[in-house]
Amino acid sequence: MINSCKWRGGALLALGLALAPSIACGAAAPEPSQSDGKTLYELGVFLSSGLDSYTLSDSEFAKVMAGMADGYHRRADVAAAMAYDPQWQALHAARVKALIAHEKSVGQAYLDQAAKISEAKTTPSGLVYIPLVEGSGANPTYLDQVKINFQGRLVDGTVFDSSKGRGEPSMLRVGGAMPCLSEALRLMKVGGRSRVVCSSTLAYGDRGSQPTVRPGATVDYEIEILSIVPPAATKPRSEQAEEGAPPTAPSPVPPLERRRNN
């Protein structure tokens, strides 16, 4: 669930302003085709993603759009606007700090509510662990790799990631998982299912995870352990090459294995 945009709205806003004169200085654009219209719409969606962490009001958003329009039509000097980069960054830092404080406040209330559920256990780390189905298999260890089904939700109920959405169960190294999941998996048994409510400290931290997990956000996982994967089932890439099998391309680190970075 992650793209290359970071929580740096100023950078994307600068990109949008910098693009404006190069577009405006070209030849008159032809009427967009239906596919071009969709492409332009998605360009707007992309440029907007960096503004989310500014938490703009409607009137503030209108000012940003007015600036983009003036920059595009060359009614304003883009180079002069770039001189405001320190102010953009200061505003961004202040808004993100307020956003984190808000998310942590809402998240703590959610954690407190979850802790009141029957069968819920709050561990010394602050993890709220709620067993749903008791498994009958072995407990995974820190060194094990497991096959799991999972669903991750925000406190407002938005599903931000799931094995169903990926189309198949996920393989996860217990010791490489984010702290709350690593701890929860070691409390479970194969065949078991549990709900795990994680503060930002145990999950995505103060950076969050684009595009949906905000900085400081609490997350709520439901996890089912399908099996512990034997080490022989995953051969090192060097052994694959020795056997003549083409080496597989490295895949991005799954969000579940992303370490917190406060």
Domains and CATH numbers, the chain: 9-83 (no CATH), 123-257 (3.10.50.40)
DSSP state of 169: -
Q: What is the pLDDT of residue 245?
A: 45
pTM above 0.75, yes or no: no
CA atoms within 13 A on the CB side of 29: 10
Q: What is the pLDDT of residue 115?
A: 97
Q: What is the pLDDT of residue 225?
A: 98
Residues of the chain falling short of pLDDT 70: 1-34, 232-262
Cα separation of 102 and 97, whole Å?
A: 9
Q: What is the pLDDT of residue 10?
A: 41
Number of neighbouring beta carbons within 10 Å of residue 65: 10
Q: What is the pLDDT of residue 173?
A: 95
Q: What is the pLDDT of residue 55?
A: 87
User: Quick one: which H or E segment has residue 198?
Assistant: strand 193-198
Phi, psi of 239 (to 5 degrees): -70, -35
Q: What is the pLDDT of residue 32?
A: 62
